[in-house]
Amino acid sequence: MNSNSVIAIHGGAGTILRASMPAGAEAEYHAALHAVLSAGQRVLADGGSALDAVSEAVRLLEDCPLFNAGHGAVYTAAGTHELDAAIMDGSTLEAGAICCVKRVRNPVLVARRVLERSEHVLFSGEGAEAFAAAQGLEFVEPEYFHTEARHRQWLLARDQPRAMLDHDGAALAAGHGDPMQYEPIDPNRKFGTVGAVALDLHGHLAAATSTGGVTNKQVGRVGDTPLIGAGCYADDATCAVSTTGSGEMFMRMVAAYDVAAQMAYRNVSLEEAAHDVVMNRLPKIDGRGGLVAVDARGNLALPFNTEGMYRGFARLGETPVTAIYR
Ligand code: ASP
């Protein structure tokens, strides 16, 4: 029995300004994160696997309209939704992922089935939806993903030259900052992807990540989230990692895997490896965002190089801890 069992989650990083938070929104975010952590904690306390805990946490985050995944996903340049997700089991190194799906309610559950029931790792678009249908998973009409807040963000972002991170779009929609100051997938905007990592009572690790991508992205664009090693990685020998941020940069840095690789090859702690990736390596190519990570001893790292990151963790038998700003 591993008594250090723990779950950590994120709901995206970016320009999360106190000033642009509508009244009551902060409490709503804390409550949502708390509820998800409590659910994950219950799975772990009942002896469930880390894989079960991260699937359940990410499923709940996908269903919550506050975050950019599942219901509440951001809009593409065509005014549609395209969702990506991945999941990995640290005990077997098995992984499953899907990208560019438009009608499955919970992308993380499809990714999980890919992990469990397919010889492949990543399915895209129509093929991913055909796989989900064959597995009997739940489908929804595209309107299910619509939320007023994301639609407003998109209407603003549409006039911008490029794509925009979710929470940055929210800051913009709240009227903070001159939109023209912002670059594309930019600095001063937020990311709303969701993710979870966990260590279970049996000593196993798992990670899962799910997203609607970035506001106003080109149709067919795929970010880091569904790419094993970029947006999601888990290996019992090192750590489990879920990232959020400017996906293109996380892909180029193979960010999630780099945390594990630094632990393995440089023999550094989780904290040192995660800090190096988020605070040193990603900023070199203007990569903005953060990650949550846990190692096999239950050590946690939740670094981010933006103004804020929706995040939290829960150890067994303890009250969940949630945070937004630095
Ligand atoms: N990393 C995600 C993507 O590029 C965005 C995010 O984290 O919000 O699709």
State the Cα–Cα distance between residues 236 and 322, nearest whole angstrom: 25
User: How many independent structural domains does the chain possess?
Assistant: 1
Domain-embedded: residue 171: yes
State the Cα–Cα distance between residues 194 and 75, nearest whole angstrom: 16
| 247 annotated to a ligand binding site | yes
Q: Ligand 1 within 6 A of 244 CB?
A: yes
Domain-embedded: residue 122: yes
CA dihedral in degrees (59, 63, 68, 73; nearest 10)?
120
Q: Ligand 1 within 6 A of 82 CB?
A: no
Residue 67 has which token pair?
A: 């975050």
Catalytically annotated residues: 193
Domain-embedded: residue 282: yes
User: Which of 194, 225, 285 has most ligand 1 atoms within 8 Å of CB, for mutation?
Assistant: 225
Domain-embedded: residue 82: yes
Which residues constitute the domain of residue 108? Answer: 6-325
Domain-embedded: residue 1: no
pLDDT in tens, the chain (326 residues): 888 999 999 999 987 878 778 778 899 999 999 999 999 999 999 999 999 999 999 999 999 999 999 999 999 999 999 999 999 999 999 999 999 999 999 999 999 999 999 999 999 999 999 999 999 999 999 899 988 888 888 888 887 766 766 776 666 666 554 433 333 333 335 567 999 999 999 999 999 999 999 989 999 999 999 999 999 999 999 999 999 999 999 999 999 999 999 999 999 999 999 999 999 999 999 999 999 999 999 999 999 999 999 999 999 999 999 999 98
Neighbour count for residue 5 (Cβ, 10 Å): 26
Nearest to 88 by CA among 205, 184, 179: 205
- From the CA of 288, how far away is ligand 1's center (Å)? 10
Domain-embedded: residue 91: yes
Q: Ligand 1 within 6 A of 163 CB?
A: no
The pTM assigned to this predicted structure is 0.92
CB 293 within 8 A of CB 262: no
Nearest to 89 by CA among 228, 213, 188: 228
Domain containing 241 — which CATH number? 3.60.20.30
State the Cα–Cα distance between residues 21 and 325, nearest whole angstrom: 12
State the Cα–Cα distance between residues 294 and 240, nearest whole angstrom: 5
